[in-house]
Amino acid sequence: MHDGVWFRRRQNAPTTAGRRVNAGRPAAEHPCVARVSVARASMVLTRRPMTTPTLTRPHYAATGSSLYPIILAIFCSVLIISNIGATKLIEFGPLITDGGVFLFPLTYLIGDILSEVYGWKAARRAIILGFAMAILAACTFYLVQLSPPADGYENQAAFEAVLGFVPRIVLASICGFLVGQLLNAYVLVKIKERTKEKYLWARLIGSTVVGEFADTLVFCTIAFYGIITGAEFVNYVLFGYVYKTLLEVVLLPITYPVIRAIKRREPTYELQTAT
């Protein structure tokens, strides 16, 4: 029924409305009817519905899109390649690090994108899948290492040196990755709950500061504590942590447009606002 007609009939029969809402109490005095009357009066005077504005809150994109599987595949690939590179220690003057330093920081950048656009559950799913793929790769390399080489194959020692199963390194890499990435995603999502769509830079840097520190400390402790000197260990931890964190800051001009582009491409990503 048309709102104007309904409103006029309500004015003509206040006693009946009052009996329906609360017998023995006039309709005009009932709080529910009073609120309805104010809203209807506002509609009559302004010819617009009376609305109550609400705060904007972030909304995450659904993972059933075409972009999430692509980002997930890149995430797992970068992780596995970085773990292979990490088997070699490298030195730049007084600075000591491993070969994973070139690519591994990108796993945190991609993890930030997953957490920012798709939310905690989607990021956690990606981290667990990457964790599983890292274990699968390590087990595969181990089986290949144990398999007897064919006649004429002269690179068995070289293969073992590069891809050989080193339990301590594999355990360190997997534990560091799992702890660091989960903390990174959790911190980013929690900051976003407070800041909504504002201060993206704070989410990206804040989550990386926490996640990279945990990752670097866990990996270095399990992999090299007691093997290298105390000074080298501190150098290794500090350089790896500072380098990865600074790289996140340097890449912000790239991360920002990438996140914006993905949000625009995702039809399910929007802001929930009152209209």
- Other Cβ atoms less than 10 A from the Cβ of 51: the count is 10
Answer whether 50's CB lies under 8 Å from 42's CB: yes
pLDDT at 40 over 70: no
Check residue 56 and give its pLDDT.
Answer: 55
pLDDT of 209: 92
Q: Tell which phi-psi region holds residue 50, choosing left (phi > 0), alpha (psi between -120 and 50) or beta.
A: beta
- Kind and range of the H or E run holding 245: helix 230-250
Flag whether pLDDT at 275 surpasses 80. no
Residue 270 contacts by C-beta under 8 Å, 6 or more apart in sequence? 59
From the list 129, 110, 108, the residue with the least C-alpha distance to 118 is 110
Is residue 229 classed exposed, middle or buried when 0-12, 13-18 and 19+ CB atoms within 10 A define those classes? Answer: exposed
Q: What is the pLDDT of residue 72?
A: 95
| Higher-confidence position of 232 and 184 | 184
What band does 223 get if pLDDT is binned at 50, 70 and 90?
confident
How far apart, in whole angstroms, are the C-alpha atoms of residue 96 and residue 89?
7
DSSP 161: H
Of 134, 84, 75, 131, the closest CA to residue 105 belongs to 75
Residue 165 pLDDT grade (very low, low, confident, very high; cuts 50, 70, 90): low
Query: pLDDT tens-digit profile of 174-204?
Result: 899 899 999 999 999 999 988 888 888 899 9
Q: Is the pLDDT of residue 107 over 80?
A: yes
The answer to whether residues 250 and 204 touch, using CB atoms and an 8 Å cutoff, is no
Asked if 129 and 184 count as a contact pair (C-beta separation under 8 A), the reply is: no
Task: Considering the domain delimited by 67-265, tell me its CATH architecture.
Answer: Orthogonal Bundle (1.10)
For residue 18, is pLDDT > 50?
no
**CA-closest candidate to residue 101, choices 126, 68, 78, 124:** 78
Share above pLDDT 70 across residues of the chain, in percent, rounded to a whole number: 76
- Looking at residue 230, what is its pLDDT? 82
Distance CA 181, CA 179 (A): 6
CA-CA distance, 114 to 125, in Å (whole number)?
10
Which sequence spans correspond to the domains of the chain?
Answer: 3-46, 67-265
pLDDT of residue 182: 94
- According to the model, what pLDDT value does residue 85 have? 84
Question: What one-character-per-residue DSSP string does 68-101 give?
Answer: HHHHHHHHHHHHHHHHHHTTSEEEETTEEEEGGG
Condensed to tens digits (0 to 9), the pLDDT of residues 56-98 reads 556 788 888 779 999 999 999 998 898 888 778 888 887 777 7
> Greater confidence, 15 or 113?
113
